[in-house]
Amino acid sequence: MEEKENLIVAPYIRVSTDRQAKDGDSLDEQESELKKFCDYRGFKIHKLYIERGKSGGNTNRPEYQALIKAVRDGKIQAVVVKKIDRLSRSLLDFEDFMKLLQEKNIEFISIKENFDTTTALGKAMLRVALVFAQLEREQTSERLIDVFNYRASQGLYNGGVRPFGYTNVNKELVPYPKEKIIIEQIFHKFCDLKSTTQVAKFLNETGYRNRQNKLWDKREVFKILHRPIYKGFVSWNDKLYQGIHQPIISEKIFDQVQLVFQDKIKYQADTKTNALLQRLIFCGCCNSIMTPSHSLNRHKQKYFYYRCTSTQNAEKATSKCEFKYVPMAQLDQFLLEFLLSLSNESYWTPIELKILKHNQQIEIKAQAIKEEIRIIESKLQAIKDKKDQYLDTLILKSFNQSERQLINKRIEDMELEDKQLKGGLYKQEFELTKLEEEKVNIIEFKKIFVMFKADYEILSAYQKKEFILNHIKSIIYFPDRVSINLKLLPWPLDHYFKEARI
């Protein structure tokens, strides 16, 4: 093939951030080699296109786009690179680029691989070489994915923007006290207010700001409330792994928040029915959920009831459930009367005594943990004092190399022990927080139901249903009673029917 001279060419140079000044691919080295090649071939350089710190994995590069424009405008007759992967590491992107060159009758030259598109062999070899470049890139990507999957399985956070509430110490997430307080406020306030808008309003009025020192909005609050990182888990590829970092929120509080969101969704789905207990009531005989149903009486009027789902479908006709169904209106009214009775002294007194006993048992456990915390803090202080003595000795006295090594080894041992003790301290503090959350606030409990009774006459059906969803986890129906699981109590309350059965 006859070599062409006096071609107007565009040398393209690129180096990624992790390849600068390595493997002979530095910017200066590429520029020097391309200029020498063009001078040797008698090419005239239109412009040097130099890409600094850009990946070849995509075409979103300013100098690359400028080169494309020069090709489209017909300002050059050839593109020259040192190696193919300097132009692109994507087979599809490179094919698009080559199609454009062919349309404009522009040559492509790669010095390292000695490819020239003016020959059929050169075109074929060029494509083969790029296939291997793409393969290498995909294998590297696969290796990285394997590493990230392994790190997640070991409970390690895979980087990115650090979650609000944490800082990064030695590549590990550690609670950041200033932000940790805000995270705690967000979760606890949402449990009370049941609204991301109201939580954001509370944070802003209290003077809290986000990491950019800006006001909070409900979207930020919503994202935080859904992140399992705060209960000590790592999320990766839609899977949850137990993290090694210290949680900020207990699993109990986190799960309570998720239940609030679920209840909101359930309520929106239930607006077509007046059933107060939909999705809350379960059959005490077979543990199946009971759902609203209706039938027509002889006057062609609808009669509503809750029916055990084990008896509804034809294929389940053999169900041996004994309870089957219960009148909706009577059971709804019975439940409302029960909630109203919780503010009465006659009903309240035995509940209060049980709460006090429950809180006392928790306090006994809490005192044991507090004593363990005190012991650990005492050991940490002793280690600090001893380490300070060793450091002062190193500064004030003269030691030979062997003695200094022994002292430094002892300091390293103390630092390791210090780290282990702090890990134990964090664990005990977290256990103490969990215990404190298990306590039942007697005043708050009674206040909720006193206010419900006071406002009952003016509450709409929607508000009554919302109150029930906010404060009841589930209701188990039996012929002689219902067993009500309140969200504020760790045990169920049984309420018996006045008649043998509703």
Catalytic site positions: 16
CA distance 464 to 280: 14
**Sign of torsion, CA 353 354 359 360?**
positive
- Single-letter amino acid code for the residue at 125: M
Give the Cα-Cα-Cα angle 395, 396, 399 (nearest 5 degrees).
80
Residue with tokens 């990115």: 160
Q: How far is 380 from 393, CA to CA, in rounded Å?
A: 20
Residue whose pair of structure tokens reads 């040192």 in the numeric block: 82
Residue 147 is given by DSSP the state H
Helix (H) or strand (E) holding 176: none
Contacts made by residues 264-268, CB under 8 angstroms, sequence distance 24+: 264/194, 266/469, 267/465, 267/466, 267/469
CA–CA gap between residue 248 and residue 166 (Å, rounded): 9
Laid out side by side, the sheet with 290-296 consists of 290-296, 302-308, 325-327
Token pair of 346, please? 């006659």
Of residues 264, 247, 322, 324, the one with CA closest to residue 293: 324
Nearest CA to 294 out of 318, 335, 328 is that of: 328
Q: What is the per-residue burial (b if ≥16 Cβ within 10 Å, else e) of 333-344? A: ebbbeebeebbe
b/e 427-444 (16+ beta carbons within 10 angstroms → b): ebebbbbbbeeebbeeee
Range 55-58 contact pairs with CB under 8 angstroms and sequence separation of 24 or more? 55/16, 55/89, 56/14, 56/16, 56/85, 56/86, 56/87, 56/88, 56/89, 56/90, 57/89, 57/90, 57/137, 58/90, 58/93
DSSP string, 278-338: TTTEEETTT--BEEEEEEE-TTS-EEEEEEEGGGTSGGGTT---S--EEEHHHHHHHHHHH
Task: Catalogue the E-assigned strands of 425-500.
Answer: 472-478, 481-486, 493-496
- Name the CA dihedral angle for 27, 29, 32, 34, rounded to a multiple of 10 degrees: -80
Query: Could you give the CA distance from residue 196 to residue 486 in angstroms, rounded to a whole number?
Result: 23
Q: Which of 364, 495, 349, 369 is nearest to 439 (CA)?
A: 364
